[in-house]
Amino acid sequence: MTVKKDSMARAAKFGYMNATDAADYLVAKGIPFRDCHEIIGKMVFYAIQKGVALDDLTMEEFKSFSELFDEDIYEAISIVNCIKAKKSEGSTSFESVKKQLESLASE
């Protein structure tokens, strides 16, 4: 298997895998998840129409969807931080993927 890091990074960024983390960010600010789902859905649609990733939006653009967004949103939705936050077995975390690969290599 050949891993193409650039292709993987682009797919993660433009696959909007960090949308759930953006919703979790707003939930932590007190917005019910059902409302966050709607807000983030609109943001993803906006970003797709604009041809950018969520983390490429300006703070002004974030705030146009919710005034609760602050500068720390960029850290909360960075792809690396999103991957690290996934802790369950079989998840996409670096540690979990390494474990899965080691398990497959030993078969």
Helices 33-50 and 19-28, packing angle to 10 deg: 140
- Structure tokens given for 96: 């979990």
Cα 80 from Cα 6, distance rounded (Å):
14
Q: Give tens-digit pLDDT for 22-75.
A: 999 999 999 999 999 999 999 999 999 999 999 999 999 999 999 999 999 999
Bigger pLDDT: 8 vs 79: 79
Statement: the pTM of the whole predicted model exceeds 0.85:
no
